[in-house]
């Protein structure tokens, strides 16, 4: 949680409602020819109007220069130190496909790879085999039995899968078998501390069985495992903030992250309109709602400036519906920037606006990177967003006498 030891003392339950809309990959960078970013180029009358009566600023997801993955980007917005509460790759991949993990399970991210007759890796991604083929292989692997440890294989996309080990005394302190290079053999899983011996041994047995199952194939004849991890022990968000928080997200990974933080995950559909329907239907049941909007990030990752503009404009059309619900505090934030000119997550500060009855406007005309830089919130660590939201909603009592 945010590094403020008195947080539980000052949080107070009230009737006021907070909506935190996370626009994935919100921030961008100027297009080389127009010198204007996606947000500056897009036609966003509703977001701009809201910015004109909000407090605006920029968030730093982790540290200047540090580009966050989806995990750290969201954890920070929920108020958790993204470094202290780093969620492992295996766990994130598992919750990203909706796999339920138990406390003691160890999840790893797997790749099918191709090895030659000497066992040396010739293709770490097995030619990016199709999901269908991959799913069949996963079904074969699922039949493997290793004494004492149950293993579940779940297909992800293309050559990727998730392995979940279930058993007693498992440890996440196991080294990766993926050497991250070709022309060498896969690594044995080695225990990284004394308590991981049995887990490493089980992993090696699973891998050895998998090699036998896949033997004789031209490609995708071996597996590589990385990111062994267990569910982290996170402070409960509702308990910490004295709220009843709920998450409404069309994508499983964000539902999974919210659940790790102790939010109630409300089932919803696959679109942002579905999320808004769900929000309306559950308006009375919670005092905090996290909503997630994915398309801006997806377009940014594709390096498609126009598509990112379109994704932002689609969001803009839905803003009146969101505003009309009358949240006491409406926060629009991003987990990180995904500039189309980079085509990937970036470290750049992310626009933020907070609307409440206390905000009357501060000379900001539009919701974008340059305008938000001049807002009254200034540049804050993303971990401070929850505190700001709660303050605007009257949910934080005075600190100290």
Q: Which is nearer to a second copy, 76 or 205 (CB)?
A: 76
- HSE at residue 201, side-chain half, CA atoms within 13 A, is 12
The residue among 42 and 315 lying less far from a second copy, judged by its C-beta, is: 42
Provide the residue count of the chain. Answer: 401
Contact in structure between 369 and 349 (CB atoms under 8 Å) = yes
Q: Is 4 in the site for a second copy (CB under 8 A)?
A: yes
Instruction: Indicate whether 93 belongs to the interface with a second copy (CB under 8 A).
Output: yes
Distance between the two ends of the chain, CA-based, in angstroms? 23
CB 151 within 8 A of CB 144: yes
Contact between 69 and a second copy by CB under 8 A: the answer reads: yes
Distance CA 373, CA 363 (A): 12
Least separation in angstroms between CB 353 and a second copy:
14
28 part of the interface to a second copy, by CB under 8 A: no
358 interacts with a second copy by CB under 8 A: yes
Please identify which residue in the block is written with the tokens 């830089």.
373
- Write each residue from 224 to 253 as x if it is in contact with a second copy (CB under 8 A), else as -, in one continuous string: ---x--------------------------
- Residues 146-185 within binding reach of a second copy (CB under 8 A): none
Choices 87-95, 195-203, 213-221, 278-286; region in contact with a second copy by CB under 8 A: 87-95
Please enumerate, as own/partner, the contacts of 299-304 that have beta carbons within 8 Å and a separation of 24 or more: 299/340, 300/25, 300/28, 300/38, 300/337, 300/338, 300/339, 300/340, 300/342, 300/343, 300/344, 301/25, 301/338, 301/343, 301/344, 301/345, 302/340, 302/343, 303/340, 303/341, 303/342, 303/343, 304/340
Using the rule CB under 8 A, give the single segment among 172-180, 194-202, 237-245, 365-373 that binds a second copy: 365-373
Query: Does 138 engage in binding with a second copy (CB under 8 A)?
Result: no
User: Taking CB under 8 A as the rule, does residue 397 contact a second copy?
Assistant: yes
Q: Which of residues 36-65 bind a second copy (CB under 8 A)?
A: 58, 62-65
Q: Is 221 in a helix, a strand, or coil?
A: coil
Which CB atom, from 82 or from 295, has the smaller least distance to a second copy?
A: 82
Q: Which is nearer to a second copy, 184 or 397 (CB)?
A: 397
Binding of a second copy at residue 135 (CB under 8 A)?
A: no
CB 178, min distance to a second copy, A: 14
Residue 303 to residue 295: CA distance in whole angstroms: 13
According to the binding rule CB under 8 A, does residue 2 interact with a second copy?
A: yes
Per rule CB under 8 A, is residue 281 in the interface with a second copy? Answer: no
Number of residues that bind a second copy (CB under 8 A): 66
Whether 335 contacts 25, CB under 8 Å: yes
3-class DSSP state of 164 = strand
Quick check: 291 and 254 in contact, CB under 8 A? no
Tell me if residue 21 falls in helix, strand or coil. strand
87 near a second copy (CB under 8 A): yes
Q: Which stretch binds a second copy (CB under 8 A): 134-142, 166-174, 297-305, 342-350?
A: 342-350
Closest CA to 247 of 234, 232, 258: 258
- Positions touching a second copy (CB under 8 A) are 2, 4-6, 10, 29-30, 32, 35, 58, 62-72, 82-83, 86-89, 92-93, 227, 341-342, 344-349, 358, 360-363, 369-370, 373-374, 376-380, 384, 386-392, 396-401
């Amino acid at each position: 949680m945010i590094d403020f030891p008195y947080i539980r003392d000052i949080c107070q339950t009230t009737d006021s409602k907070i909506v935190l809309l996370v626009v994935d990959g919100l921030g961008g960078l100027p297009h080389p020819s127009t010198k204007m970013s996606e947000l500056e180029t897009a036609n966003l009358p509703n977001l701009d109007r809201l910015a004109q009566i909000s407090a605006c600023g920029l968030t730093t997801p982790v540290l200047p220069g540090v580009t966050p993955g989806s995990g750290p980007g969201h954890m920070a917005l929920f108020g958790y130190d993204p470094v202290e509460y780093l969620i492992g790759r295996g766990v994130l991949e598992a919750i990203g496909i909706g796999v339920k993990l138990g406390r003691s399970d160890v999840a790893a991210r797997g790749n099918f790879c191709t090895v030659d007759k000497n066992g040396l890796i010739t293709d770490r991604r097995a030619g990016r085999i199709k999901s269908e083929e991959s799913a069949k292989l996963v079904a074969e692997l699922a039949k493997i039995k290793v004494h004492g440890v149950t293993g579940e294989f779940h297909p992800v996309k293309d050559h990727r899968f998730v392995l979940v080990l279930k058993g007693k005394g498992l440890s996440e302190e196991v080294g990766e078998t993926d050497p991250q290079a070709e022309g060498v053999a896969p690594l044995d899983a080695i225990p990284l501390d004394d308590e991981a011996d049995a887990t490493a041994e089980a992993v090696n047995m699973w891998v050895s069985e998998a090699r036998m199952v896949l033997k004789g194939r031209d490609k995708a004849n071996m597996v590589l495992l990385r990111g062994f991890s267990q569910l982290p022990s996170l402070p409960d968000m509702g308990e910490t903030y004295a709220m009843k928080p709920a998450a409404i997200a069309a994508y499983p990974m964000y539902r999974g992250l919210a659940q790790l933080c102790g939010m109630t995950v409300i089932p919803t559909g696959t679109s942002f309109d579905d999320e808004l329907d769900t929000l309306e239907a559950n308006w009375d049941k919670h005092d905090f709602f996290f909503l997630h909007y994915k398309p801006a990030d997806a377009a940014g990752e594709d390096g498609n400036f126009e598509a990112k503009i379109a994704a932002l404009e689609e969001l803009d059309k839905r803003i009146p519906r969101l505003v009309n619900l009358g949240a006491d505090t409406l926060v629009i934030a991003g987990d990180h920037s995904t500039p189309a000119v980079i085509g990937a997550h970036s470290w750049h500060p992310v626009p933020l606006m907070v609307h409440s009855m206390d905000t009357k406007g501060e000379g900001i005309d539009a919701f974008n990177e340059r305008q938000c830089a001049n807002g009254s919130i200034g540049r804050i660590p993303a971990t401070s967003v929850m505190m700001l939201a709660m303050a605007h909603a009257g949910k934080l009592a005075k600190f100290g006498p």
